[in-house]
Amino acid sequence: EVQLVESGGGLVKPGGSLKLSCAASGFTFSNYIMNWVRQAPGKGLEWVSSFSSGDAYIDYADSVKGRFTISRDHAKNSLYLQMNNLRAEDTALYYCVREKNPKDYYDFLTNKWRSNWSDLWGQGTPVTVSS
Amino acid sequence: SYELTQPPSVSVSPGQTARITCSGDALSKKYAYWYQQKSGQAPVLVIYEDTKRPSGIPERFSGSSSGTVATLTINGAQVEDEAGYYCYSTDSNDNHRLFGGGTKLTVL
């Protein structure tokens, strides 16, 4: 079965650390860009970080840059998110997300650019930062 | 920084047409994508590249775009369509992934 299963969430004090894991199965993990996306309670979706399929690039949202580190282990089909110096505003459900990229990024018919988009989501792991 | 702006809420009666807008400067050059998120569930893609519908998504869902505004339309909204809807695109400058703030659709 094609799926993503997150783990590692929990309660941590401000300034603390936590490492999230995401186990991928049912597809060739190394072929895909993988992301972390979070959702604070009652709020919208926020992209957190991306790790490219060929390990060519890593990117972070400004809100987590310098505090969070994304990594992946192709042998274990796993994605990770090391979160340090956690703040109350990091409290959220953290989703592991597989990303699909289009065949061609530029559409000459409409003169518009396509984006990568998320085609598979885990169920999320909750992180609560509170004293 | 670049933003995608959606109305916080839209409310319709069953069978009516619901329209949810998403505005952002880059949408004149970049496609919009739409996700549906029902309570307690992970998001599901309902529209990609402004107007295309993935397989399995009901025909009552459609998308359009004009200038810097993308619109998700649900013709004949059903009670089961009640959900949060998020537009998505990427920043023109740094390709950062970006979600709109989300719109809560109420059908009752």
**Could B96 and A61 be called an inter-chain contact, meaning their C-beta atoms sit closer than 8 Å?**
yes
**Could B37 and A45 be called an inter-chain contact, meaning their C-beta atoms sit closer than 8 Å?**
yes
Q: At A42, is the pLDDT very low, low, confident or very high (cuts 50, 70, 90)?
A: very high
Provide the β-strand partners of residue B91.
Answer: none
B5 to chain A nearest CA, in Å? 12
Give the number of residues written for chain A: 131
Average pLDDT, chain A: 95
> What residue has token string 């459609």?
B62
Q: Is B68 exposed, middle or buried (0-12, 13-18, 19+ CB in 10 A)?
A: middle
Amino acid at A113: W
Low-confidence spans in chain B with pLDDT less than 50: none
Q: In sequence order, what DSSP letters do the residues of B63-86 get, joined into one string? A: EEEETTEEEEEETT--GGG-EEEE
Instruction: Find chain A residues with C-beta within 8 A of B50's C-beta.
Output: 112
**Could B86 and A117 be called an inter-chain contact, meaning their C-beta atoms sit closer than 8 Å?**
no
Whether residue B2 lies within 8 A of chain A, CB to CB, comes out as: no
Cα Rg, chain B, nearest whole Å: 13
B14 to chain A nearest CA, in Å? 25
Q: What is the pLDDT of residue A53?
A: 84
Q: What is the pLDDT of residues A88-116, one digit of tens each?
A: 999 999 999 999 988 889 999 999 999 98
CA A54/CA A33 separation, integer angstroms? 8
Amino acid at A46: E
Largest CA distance in chain A: 54
